[in-house]
Amino acid sequence: MNTTRPVLVFDSGIGGLSVLREMRVLLPERHFVYVADDAGFPYGDWKEEVLRAHLLALFGNLLKKYKPQLCVVACNTASTLAINDLRAAFPDCPFVGTVPAIKPAAEQTGSGVIAVLATPGTVKRAYTRALVTSFAGQCFVRLVGSRKLAAFAEAHLRGQPVDMAALAAEIAPCFVEKKEQRTDIVVLACTHYPFLINLLRKVAPWPVDWLDPAEAIARRVRSLLPDDGREIDPLADIAGFTSGKADFATRRLLHGFGFKYEAYA
């Protein structure tokens, strides 16, 4: 792989910045392009075949434009639906997906009761349920599909207030008491959700471990890239939005993450 080419990080919105943040820690020398499909946000309610076709067409354009050495699909909904299709369609470009961290949750739980906090799209995927069957068969697993949390995270990142009562209501189904045991791990199965972590801790009915897969994804990316010991890439990191629009708060956020805004991805 040509190390002058960027690493492309993709999400439906700006939640994938939680993954990119960890990649920058492990790969400070790399050049990144971040693409938010805000024109299609949120993905949770899309019909599967329509979303799959949309993603294949969009990545066809993105790979031609940016010629990345590797793509990170920093979106659980897109990954659980289409990561294998993307790998088949574009075999010359490695793809790293983002899937619910059910296996590590099952390994780490003390109570045997875990929750997976995701979008409705991720919860209904056969891929997600196969992970539960394969790795958490001895656990009680509550799958919770929130329709509001990703939008709450987008608002919070832009400095807007979040309705704490509504936030508490969204996560309440995660907290299960069963046979004198109760939820001790909540898997954050949407890359938007780690940006709400401090608020989630405040409204949780009891303390739990919130499992964020971003560091594991960053390690996987590092393992797939050549270790050539080169200096930090002088090229500016770029962020693009498929809508061609970004408000002032979003541009300020991107600037804080060190990105040069590009109007259309």
| Residue numbering of the annotated binding site | 11-12, 43-44, 76-77, 191-192
CA distances from 102 to 133, 141, 145, 162 (A): 10, 9, 15, 28
Asked if 93 is an active-site residue, the reply is: no
User: Catalytic one among 71, 93, 139, 190?
Assistant: 190
**Is 188:116 a contact under the CB 8 Å cutoff?**
no
**Known binding-site positions for substrate:** 11-12, 43-44, 76-77, 191-192
Please report which helix (H) or strand (E) contains residue 63, including its range.
helix 48-66
| Torsion angles phi and psi, residue 238, rounded to 5 | -115, 140
> Long-range contacts of range 48-57, CB-CB < 8 Å, 24 or more positions apart?
48/81, 51/77, 51/78, 51/81, 51/82, 51/121, 52/81, 52/82, 52/85, 55/81, 55/82, 55/85, 55/86, 56/82, 56/85, 56/86, 56/89
Amino acid residing at 251: R
Annotated catalytic residue: which of 75, 93, 139, 174? 75
d(C-alpha 23, C-alpha 17), whole Å? 10
Residues that are catalytic:
75, 190
